[in-house]
Amino acid sequence: MNIRSLIVDDEPLARKRIVSFLNNMPGISIIGECGGGRDAIRLIREMSPDLLFLDIQMPEVGGFDVLQAVGPEKMPAVIFTTAYDQHALKAFEVHALDYLLKPFSRQRFTGAVERARKQLENSTPREPDSRIAALIENLRPEQRYLSRFAIRSSQRVLFVKATDVEWIESAGNYALLHVGAQTHIIRETMQALERKLSPKSFRRVSRSAIVNLSRIKEIQPLARGEYSIVLESGKHLAMSRSLRDLERALEIS
């Protein structure tokens, strides 16, 4: 049996280490490697690997996000790689999933691959792994994103759900929250808001605008390779960030 493997890790040296170990193991071929979660989702869907080496701690779209986006039905056998993360390691152990704690030795790596080989030999093709399904169901990243805004005035504090915000406009050291026909002012920079809002739900499309991905109605091409985003309210926003990145964000949101 030839095992087709895909390597996903944002650290080039970590990918190189896995490649060097696999090159000495018969019956395993490397069909691809990438350094981010979005590319991983695309490659898993396009290439259907048998075995996935998946880093958990990656910027923007991490390993757990990849699991949730692909789903247990299409996930290959997985060997997780991670720096020390007590929360993640406990989850792997509870669900009897194999992981490699960085920096891992060749011996530890070989043992993990051999266990994966036995798993693949004893399972039917593309059989969903119930352990992965359980992990997706029960495990959530510890990071918490902003779920509502507190709009303060001299007389009251109004709370606005983040999901109700259609888009956010920059106004220097302030930001304008566009919620239906209303606009609320908060003292936050766009850079700070970008960190506080979930990348699954919100995306910065230009220096002056962050949009709620669920409120995007369409993307229209303009002249000179530029694009305009049309929101459900009919608002048009010029986009200066990558169209490809936005399309990928819409796929996993």
> pLDDT for 53-68, tens place per residue?
999 888 888 888 888 8
The domain ranges of the chain are 3-138, 148-252
Q: Which of 62-71, 92-101, 185-194 comes out lowest in average pLDDT?
A: 92-101
Contact 70, 45 (CB under 8 A): yes
Predicted confidence (pLDDT) at residue 149 exceeds the cutoff of 70: yes
Q: What is the pLDDT of residue 142?
A: 47
Helix (H, G, I), strand (E, B) or coil at 101: strand
Architecture of 3-138 per CATH?
A: 3-Layer(aba) Sandwich (3.40)
Percent of the chain with pLDDT over 70: 87
pLDDT of 152: 84
The rounded radius of gyration (Å) of the Cα atoms in the chain is 21
- How high is the pLDDT of residue 159? 92
Region 129-141: mean pLDDT is 70
What does pTM read for this prediction? 0.56
Q: What is the CATH number of domain 148-252?
A: 2.40.50.1020
pLDDT of residue 7: 97
Q: What whole-number distance in Å separates Cα of residue 228 and Cα of residue 233?
A: 14
Closest CA to 97 of 49, 64, 144: 64
Name the least confident of 94-103, 137-146, 155-164, 208-217. 137-146
Q: Quick one: average pLDDT of 37-44? A: 93
